[in-house]
Amino acid sequence: MQAVVQEIVGQMGNEKAPLLQVLLAVQDASPRNYVSEEAVRAIARSMRVSRCRVYSTASFYTEISLKPRGRHLIRICGNAPCENAGRAAIMDAIQKELGIKAGEITADGLISLEKVSCLGACYKSPAIKVDHQIYGNLTPEEAVAIIRSLREEFSNEHNGSPVGI
């Protein structure tokens, strides 16, 4: 972990590296989309700041997770335009399909479901974001289809082997 972090920090300017960008890069490098305690320690060491400060910054931002997440992140927009456009039905359908609630991870560790404040896609609400891609004007059926294809894709890539947590 120290080596991975040191490389990221080194590329970004060592002690002058922007902490928030370091945290995001370390998170992106983690298959489970999070910043581990070991990583927090490694960042503190590489940047010569206290762990408490690294943790504090990381804990403030909702796009940074300090707990392991799924390999894929589904974020459901919770702002008023999406709410009006039927977010609840989308959320219900996705929760049912995945068998988890918002804030949880599927048992196979593949997918995390999260609520976000606003995706800035109110012109096509209701909207969700799957990893880096936004899907708008969704119906519950379409949302379920997106998840199924995500699963299928993964299973094809990994010959159906379980993901493990």
Instruction: List contacts with other proteins (CB under 8 A).
Output: 18-21, 23-24, 37, 40-41, 44-45, 48-57, 59-64, 66, 75, 78-81, 83-84, 116-125, 129, 132-134
Query: Looking at beta carbons only, is 84 or 149 nearer to other proteins?
Result: 84
Inter-residue contact 147 to 94 (CB < 8 Å): yes
Q: From the CB of 165, what's the least distance to other proteins, in Å?
A: 20
CB 37 to other proteins: min, Å: 7
Could you say which DSSP state residue 108 is in?
T
Locate 100 and state its tokens: 């988890």
Reported in sequence order, the residue ranges of 14-154 that DSSP labels E, i.e. its strands, are 72-77, 111-116, 128-130, 133-135
In the complex with other proteins, the residue whose CB is nearer, 116 or 147, is 116
- Identity of the residue, 23 or 94, whose beta carbon is nearer to other proteins in the bound complex: 23
- Token reading at 14: 């060592």
For 114, the enclosing helix (H) or strand (E) is strand 111-116
